[in-house]
Structure 1
């Protein structure tokens, strides 16, 4: 999935839990009408949506009614407030400029159905590709992730020396 998101020129996010009243026409009132629901949207709590947020070139958000709410860039302050992800990342700053620990922190408050997915959703974001071993548990998956990111870092240091 990471490669698909990486190759996507645009990602459309349908927020089924964000409603905009149809009678709202004033732009400021329109924004107030959905902003609270946007901040509370389940989409921001699911692990696999993290790469959908960070990886595509452009991300556009839509309400339940199909009304465009804005883009990752136009909503960067709100998204930063919800996720604590640095604004630079939301603007496209290279993920490799952030430590693996910091990238892992972006998923800390997100939820998954399977415990390993808490780690697996970070593989592409951390620049690591591992076989998925469901049943290994979150702790072992974290060890494999850290081991592979450290190995990749050592290999990169040898190549740049």
Structure 2
């Protein structure tokens, strides 16, 4: 469904203790606590994280992976929806397009000792196309 693919879904499912889920006709489907494994399979967020809301048990790279293939209306919202899972406060400037990805990576590096954010596969060894380890 669109809910599972939305960029904002991850923080909206993790942050609140109680979540009620409804279908497009506003018919109740289930509570978050009763569907942890279904939500985990759909989002990639471990059921334990959904239950405890404790993000410290997941590496930076793992948290970044939750944002992959998510859809947002604006390009920059793809970066802004990562602010919650990384507990980052950052000025949201619409119209920046891809720049917020670089800014959020820098904030993560400043605020974390976990360097797994740098563990990205290198697509090219051509020095003219390689741009460094950040997005």
Whether 2:96 is the aligned partner of 1:136: answer yes
How many residues align? The count is 113
1:151 equivalent in alignment to 2:110: yes
| Structure 2 unmatched runs, 5+ | 114-135
**Per the alignment, do residues 141 and 73 of structure 1 end up closer, same or farther by CA in structure 2, a change over 3 Å counting?**
same
TM-score by length of 2: 0.75
- Give the secondary-structure state (helix, strand or coil) at the position aligned to 1:73: helix
- Provide the C-alpha distance between the structure 2 equivalents of 1:124 and 1:68, rounded to a whole number of angstroms: 26
Q: TM-score, normalised by structure 1?
A: 0.64
Matched residues in 1 for 2:82 and 2:93: separation? 14
Q: Structure 1 residue runs of 4+, over 4 Å off?
A: none
In structure 1, the gaps of 5 or more residues are: 1-40, 155-161
Query: Does the residue aligned with 2:21 lie in a helix, a strand or coil?
Result: strand
Structure showing greater radius of gyration is: 1
What does 1:101-120 correspond to in 2, within 5 Å? 101-120=61-80
Superposed CA RMSD in Å reads: 1.6
Q: Give the number of the structure whose residues are more often helix, by fraction.
A: 1
- Per the alignment, in what secondary structure is the counterpart of residue 52 of structure 2? coil
Matches within 5 A, 1:1-161: 41-138=1-98, 140-153=99-112
